[in-house]
Amino acid sequence: MVAKGVRNQYLATYCANLATLIYGLSIGWLSPNLILMSSDDSPLTTGKITSEEQGTVGSIGTIGCMLAPLVCGWVAEIAGRKSALMLIGVTQLVSWAVMPFATNLSVIYASRIFGGFAGGGTMSIVPLFVSEISEDRIRGTLGTMLAISCNVGILLGFIISHYVNYWAVTYLALLLCVVYSLGCCFLPESPQYLFIKKKKEKAIKALRFYRGEEAESETSQFTAEVARFKDIHNVGTPKKKDSNQIHIKDFLTRSRWKPILICVIVIMFPAGSGSIPLMTYTERIFQESHSNLSPAISSIVVAMLQLIGSYVSTMTVENAGRRVLLVVSTLGCAVCTTTMGTYTFLQAMRVEVDWFRWVPVASMSALVFINAIGIGIVPFIIMTEILDPKIRGSVVTFCLLEFSGVAYLVVKYFPIAVEQLGMHSCMWFFSCCCVASATFVLTCMPETKGKSFEQISESLNGGKKSGHKDVAPTAV
C-alpha cells in the first residue's frame, strides 16, 4: 500500500512513464515485424526488405533520439519540464498516427524517426522530472519505473504483434498517447524548476501537491524542504547577470570533470552489453542460433524476463546499492554473451549441438534479466545523482547524444557484423565490453545510494569538500 504522503509522487511517475511504455511498444513492434517485412508475406507494397534495409529500419530511430535531448532539454529549461513532457506526447502521437498508412519504407522511416525522438525525450526528461518531484527516500525506486515501463511496452509489443496482427500495436499506442497527454495536463510543474524561475508561490503549491498529507499539515519536514529549496536556488536573492551562465571553465574543475568522465563512460554500458541489438533483432538472433523454441515464443520469454529483472531492480536499488547492481549486471552479461558466443562458434564449426539447443534461449533470457537489474537503468539514475546542478543539463544532454550515437552504430552494423564475422565474434566482443565495464565500476565509481550531492562530491574528491561555491545539493 502506497503511503498517502508519497501517493502523488507515484501517480505522477506512472503518468510520465506512460511515454516510456509507448516507446517500449515501438521497440517490441519492431523485432517481429522486421521478420515479417523481410518475408514473402511483407505488408509493404514495395515487397520484402533486404538485410541492409532491416538495419536502416532498426537504427534510423536513433537520428530522432539524438535530436531529442537538444530540443527537449531546451524546452525543459525555457518552458518547463511539463511542456517538454507534452512535446514528447505530440511526437509519439505523430509517429503512431502515420502507421496505418505505412505501406512503404518511407512512411516507416518517418515513423521511426518521430518515435526515436520521443524515446530520446523520455530518456532525458522523464528521469529529470521524476528526480525533481521525488523525496530522497524513494528516489531510486521511482527512478527504476523508467525501465519497468519500457519493458512492459516491449513485452506487449511482442505479444500483440505475434498473436494479433501488424496493426494492433498501433491502435493501442494511439490510445495510450491520448491518455498520457491528458494526464500530463493535470500534473503540476516540477517544484525545483519553479524555484529556479523564482516562482515561489507556484513552487510551494506544486511541492504541496507532491508531498500530500505531509504538506497539508505543514510538518517540520515539509517546512525544512521548502527552506532547503529556497537556499539552493537563492529565491529572492539578487544575482549577478552571468551567475547562471555556463562557461567552459565550469567543466574543467577537478570536482566536476571526474563525475563528467564517469557519466560519459557509464552511459556506454547498455550498448556494450549486447542488450540493444538483442531487443532490436531478437527473432533474427534466435533464427540464426536454431533454438528449439520458435523465434516468436523465444522473444516473448526474453521480454518477460527483462520485465521481471527491471522489477527486481526496483526492489533492490535502494538496498543493494548502485555499484553492486552494476558489477553483478556487467559480469553476469559477460558470462551470458560468452556462453552464447561459444555455442554459435561450435555451431559454425559444425560441432553437434542438438543436446544444447536450449542454450540460446537460456543465455539470452539470462542476459536481458541481468541487464535489466543494473545496466539497463542504473546509468540513467547515476547521472542525476553525481553531476553538479549547474552543469547537469548540459552533461546529460551530451551523454544522451553519445548514447544515441553509439546505439545507432551498434544497431546499424550488427546485422553486417554477424554476416561478415559471425554471431560468435559479436557475442565475444560484447563479453569483453562487459568485463571492462565491471572493472571501471570497481575502480572508479563511488556508491551513491542514499547520499546527498555533497556526500557524493566529497567521495569523488577523496573526502575533500568541493572547492567551487556555486555547487548546490541536488534534490533528486
* DSSP letter assigned to residue 4: T
Strand, coil or helix: what is 344?
helix
In the prediction, which pLDDT does 473 show? 36
Between CA 192 and CA 393 the distance in angstroms is 14
In the prediction, which pLDDT does 139 show? 76
Q: What is the CA radius of gyration of the chain?
A: 23
Between CA 451 and CA 457 the distance in angstroms is 10
- For 276, the enclosing helix (H) or strand (E) is helix 275-280
Cell reading at 393: 543539463
> Which residues of the chain are modeled with pLDDT < 70?
1-5, 166, 213-247, 249-252, 254, 283-284, 287-293, 295, 318, 452, 462-476
Task: Give residue 339's identity as a one-letter amino acid code.
Answer: T
What sign for the dihedral angle of Cα 394, 396, 402, 407?
Answer: negative
Residue with cell 516491449: 154
**pLDDT tens across 391-444, in order?**
777 788 888 888 888 888 888 888 888 888 988 999 999 999 999 999 999 998
| Dihedral, CA of residue 6, residue 10, residue 13 and residue 17, to nearest 10 | 170
Indicate yes or no: pTM above 0.85. Answer: no
Listed in sequence order, the residues at least 6 apart from 373 whose beta carbon sits closer than 8 Å to its beta carbon are 309, 310, 312, 313, 316, 325, 328, 329, 332
Given a contact cutoff of 8 angstroms between Cβ atoms, the answer to whether 54 and 38 are in contact is yes
Q: How far is CA 228 from the centre of its chain?
A: 29
Given a contact cutoff of 8 angstroms between Cβ atoms, the answer to whether 111 and 64 are in contact is no
In the prediction, which pLDDT does 449 show? 76
Closest CA to 64 of 152, 123, 13, 143: 123
CATH classification of 1-186 is 3.40.50.2300, yes or no? no
Three-class SS of 83-137:
HHHHHHHHHHHHHHHCHHHCCCHHHHHHHHHHHHHHHHHHHHHHHHHHHHHCCHH
Between CA 144 and CA 137 the distance in angstroms is 13
Domain boundaries, the chain: 1-186, 192-233, 254-461
Task: Give residue 181's identity as a one-letter amino acid code.
Answer: S
CB count, 10 Å around CB of 47?
A: 9
Between CA 159 and CA 152 the distance in angstroms is 11
Between CA 229 and CA 279 the distance in angstroms is 41
Closest CA to 313 of 238, 245, 257, 368: 368
* DSSP letter assigned to residue 242: T
Given its phi and psi angles, is residue 253 left (phi above 0), alpha (psi -120 to 50 degrees) or beta?
Answer: beta
**pLDDT tens across 133-156, in order?**
888 778 778 888 888 899 899 899
In the prediction, which pLDDT does 218 show? 57
The CATH topology of domain 254-461 is: Growth Hormone; Chain: A; (1.20.1250)
Between CA 373 and CA 328 the distance in angstroms is 9
- Mind giving me the DSSP string for 356-401? GTTHHHHHHHHHHHHHHHTTTTHHHHHHHHHS-HHHHHHHHHHHHH
Q: Do domains 1-186 and 254-461 have the same CATH topology?
A: yes
Helix axes 220-233, 200-211, angle to 10 degrees: 140
In the prediction, which pLDDT does 412 show? 81
